[in-house]
Structure 1
């Protein structure tokens, strides 16, 4: 949709967010507080949002990160560098680690639930960048943010989309045939359509993850106890007992002596 308002400086905004309520809040804040925008368009997923960007050439794009099918962080996969000629403001409910990545760059962000004053400030900053012709410098900043996020995050392909999860939030992975269940701190387990081998290879350079058994990959940070009752078991902080394979016992004892 497009809302037209009489302004001296005609600007265009695109809101890409799968939550209708969130889109309406952004639209209302723009209409009530940012009178330079005479056109506001909406999209409920990244693909339709990218199509709008290509056809409408917006000045500012408000982009949600966690959406079904494609994350907002994948936007550079859909656009050529010359097509990123707008200011991008991420909308996120991300944790503190991710926010630090945004703060280290010129890429702006807003936390959910949206604060009106912070929203107004972000839009003012975007307008200033547009007027000073700084829009094209965002590409490298975006790449830098994504690389920083990748250092401590893993992409979990869940049915509703992609869940970008901090390594610190993972308790352990458990094999389930050609699938894997990921147990997360303070959240419901997630069934992922990939084998455990996929995650073991992806995290093999991360010393905090260890494979004590062919069916498990654990985060040593959440190891609570080594039990010798009826064999060797590793007890995690959620009280899950995970078997330690016989051939892994000596290796594991050396490992914990080195780490702890």
Structure 2
């Protein structure tokens, strides 16, 4: 295990770049390597062959001319083993960020404890031996479990699709009820709906989206439905179905 880990910060806003760098330099196990205000400078520095690759790369997404994802793809062709931690003001890129196996996707303004937890996770990954490549005859790995990312206060939360029971729009918030608990986000219900696959989730009311696999029963006239995984004292939760949504619901449930 290494005693110190080199890091590079790529951030176009100077105050943010200084803030992140200063926090990281307060740790004895981290060694500052370089900081850049754009992706081009960072790539030229690392692709020159005269400078080592960092152990940790702290990367903004939205930057002038070239974004963080394009830089990351170029650098991983040179050296794939470093860890990247995204630090950005744009939550909408979170899913794409996790597709790059980032240990963390942090939202600005960066909180020290969240930053340091991300660093700890990245270091653990660096010190975990890579799994051997499977034999050619090995069975293919199962498809990844689908999920969405939602913003809860200043954190991005991963929600597995099969855990979601229903979503309820309430004023400026959306309450997402899952088998693991409830989450309140300030995202619009329409935005949540756009992230959910239409073959599994359905808008049944101006205020409700349900997981079709959780529909336990429905009224003969399709004015209400009952949901599994919501039973209280043996009684399932009943939700209203808006008039303009009933025909589509009927077609989904009855084929």
After TM superposition, the score normalised by the length of structure 1 is 0.48
Per residue, is there more helix in 1 or in 2? 1
- TM-score under structure 2 normalisation? 0.49
